[in-house]
């Protein structure tokens, strides 16, 4: 009997356990001759197995399965041939232990650090796919390869590393890292001028090789100039602010402008960073197509670089919906048509009953078409002593919660958490988190 290790989806193992056999992807199967305990020393096996893995939000999406097979159809597995299950990391071990049959032994992960690095690599690719999506949405003329030469893979890799390792930029790093990782902590206005002030702050961060507090730079003339612009006309356009800025002849302002030219000489750094902050603030919740972007193309290469950074920042998961709408996908319905089997919607008549303002407000607070069903204790009803509110069902603790992303699935950041009590559940639910249900009752 030969030993094999395969990387399969958890859902596939559920089918294997339920039906007794499955056929798996041969590209994600490798034979090994060493002891199972020695596999962590064979990282090439992990690289081979994970090369074809689809992107995933949670590490319990996949698991390694060790099985034995006679030479022949090694991609057909019988449950009796399985010798062990290995999660991707310790968090996945906890989840699998809770969701699978309690008789199943879940072993310690084989390559927990390698899985962490795999997720980072997939996130880097997700960033680049986001930039590619924006290029397709707006049919930008500049070469996306040229943009990648400016915001290269090492820049994106550093940004992703900092996100995964929960650290802030510090030291000798490219200006693009300081811009993409910049967070506003000052009370700058939420308009175009505020984005210029973000740019000043980010450039000072780069110059000082650390994150500079806004109080340290609020007295500089360049920051006072933008504050004056906001006091004069808070609705000043991007082009008007640029014209006023470059018309200044005070040496302290020209010194700042020259500093930006020394950092980047091939294009206008102030324009690039400010456009990026304008768009990042505008689309931080949802990216959507706007005709005004076609006019912005006239700005030049600075606009394209800002778009590339924006795409990397948003990633595929926050841009694909807009892309699919713009293509549109061949599988989408034609606008104004219905599927053949689609039943007409019949609305129930509304009872003529007036609600007080307070009652109406309370109802609007709790109605959410995306909520899962749950029941909450209220007042005695029959022998069950519970009342159904909005057809919801109480979670069974412990449960896993994560921040949903548009289009389905859950975000990697913030990282999903295991929740053990109702207080924590309600706290996270109030922040928009949802329970991650991965076949809690499989059998």
Instruction: Work out the average pLDDT over 54-64.
Output: 88
Question: Could you tell me the maximum CA-CA distance found in the chain, to the nearest angstrom?
Answer: 82
Query: What is the token pair recorded at 112?
Result: 């927990």
Instruction: Give dist(CA 391, CA 131) in Å, integer.
Output: 41
Backbone angles phi, psi at 389, to 5 degrees: -115, 120
> Using an 8 Å Cβ cutoff, are 5 and 66 in contact?
yes
Strands (E), 19-169: 21-23, 29-32, 62-69, 76-78, 82-87
Instruction: Work out the average pLDDT over 373-383.
Output: 39
Instruction: Work out the average pLDDT over 375-394.
Output: 43
Backbone angles phi, psi at 435, to 5 degrees: -70, 135
Of residues 251 and 335, more confidently modeled? 251
Per-residue confidence (pLDDT) for residue 305, from 0 to 100: 95
Instruction: Give dist(CA 136, CA 269) in Å, integer.
Output: 24
Per-residue confidence (pLDDT) for residue 427, from 0 to 100: 82
b/e sequence 48-67, b meaning 16+ C-beta within 10 Å: bbbeebebbbbbbbbbbbbb
* Residue 182 pLDDT class (50, 70, 90 cuts): very high
Mind listing the pLDDT tens digit for each residue in 385-423? 434 334 456 677 788 888 888 767 777 778 788 887 777
Give me the percent of the chain exceeding a pLDDT of 90.
Answer: 54
The CATH number of 2-110 is: 3.20.170
Average pLDDT, the chain: 83
Instruction: Give dist(CA 332, CA 317) in Å, integer.
Output: 19
**pLDDT of 298 strictly over 50:** yes
b/e sequence 260-286, b meaning 16+ C-beta within 10 Å: beeebeeebbbbbbbbbbbbbeebeee
**pLDDT of 379 strictly over 70:** no
Per-residue confidence (pLDDT) for residue 396, from 0 to 100: 76
The DSSP bridge partners found for residue 400 are 418, 436
Instruction: Work out the average pLDDT over 226-232.
Output: 93
Per-residue confidence (pLDDT) for residue 438, from 0 to 100: 57
Per-residue confidence (pLDDT) for residue 365, from 0 to 100: 35
Q: Where in the chain is the domain with CATH 3.20.170?
A: 2-110
> Using an 8 Å Cβ cutoff, are 339 and 333 in contact?
yes
Of residues 297 and 255, more confidently modeled? 255
**pLDDT of 371 strictly over 60:** no
Instruction: Work out the average pLDDT over 203-222.
Output: 93
Query: What is the token pair recorded at 7?
Result: 């990387």
């Amino acid at each position: 009997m030969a030993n094999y290790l395969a990387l399969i989806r958890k859902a596939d193992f559920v089918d294997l356990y339920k039906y007794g056999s499955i056929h798996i992807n041969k590209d994600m199967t490798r034979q090994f001759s060493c002891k199972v305990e020695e596999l962590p020393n064979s990282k090439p096996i992990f690289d081979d197995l994970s090369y074809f893995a689809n992107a995933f939000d949670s590490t319990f999406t996949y698991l390694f399965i060790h099985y034995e097979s006679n030479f022949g159809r090694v991609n057909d597995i019988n449950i009796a041939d399985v010798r062990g299950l290995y999660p991707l990391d310790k968090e996945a071990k906890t989840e699998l232990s809770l969701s699978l049959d309690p008789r199943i032994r879940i072993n310690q992960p084989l390559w927990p650090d390698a899985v962490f690095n795999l997720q980072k690599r997939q996130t880097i690719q997700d960033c680049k796919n986001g930039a590619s999506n924006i290029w397709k949405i707006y049919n930008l003329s500049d070469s996306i390869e040229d943009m990648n030469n400016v915001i290269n893979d090492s820049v994106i890799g550093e940004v992703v590393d900092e996100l995964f390792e929960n650290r802030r930029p510090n030291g000798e790093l490219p200006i693009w890292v300081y811009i993409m990782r910049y967070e506003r902590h000052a009370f700058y206005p939420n308009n175009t001028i505020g984005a210029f002030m973000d740019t000043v702050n980010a450039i000072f961060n780069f110059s000082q090789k650390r994150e500079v507090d806004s109080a340290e730079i609020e007295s500089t003339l360049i920051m006072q100039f933008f504050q004056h612009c906001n006091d004069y006309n808070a609705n000043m356009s991007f082009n008007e602010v640029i014209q006023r800025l470059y018309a200044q002849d005070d040496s302290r302002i020209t010194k700042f402008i020259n500093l930006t030219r020394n950092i980047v000489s091939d294009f206008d750094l102030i324009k690039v960073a400010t456009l990026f902050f304008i768009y990042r603030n505008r689309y931080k919740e949802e990216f959507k197509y706007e005709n005004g972007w076609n006019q912005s193309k006239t700005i030049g290469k600075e606009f394209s670089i800002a778009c590339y950074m924006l795409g990397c920042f948003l990633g595929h998961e926050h841009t694909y919906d807009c892309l699919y709408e713009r293509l549109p996908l061949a599988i989408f319905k034609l606008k104004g048509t219905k599927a053949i089997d689609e039943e007409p919607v019949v609305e129930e008549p509304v009872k003529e009953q007036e609600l007080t303002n307070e009652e109406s407000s309370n109802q609007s607070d709790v109605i959410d078409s995306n909520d899962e069903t749950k029941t909450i204790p209220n007042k005695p009803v029959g022998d069950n002593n519970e009342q159904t509110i909005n057809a919801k069902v109480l979670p069974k603790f412990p449960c896993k919660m994560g921040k949903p992303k548009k289009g389905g699935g859950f975000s990697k950041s913030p990282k999903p958490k295991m929740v053990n009590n109702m207080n924590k559940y309600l706290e996270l639910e109030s922040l928009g988190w949802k329970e991650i249900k991965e076949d809690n009752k499989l059998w």
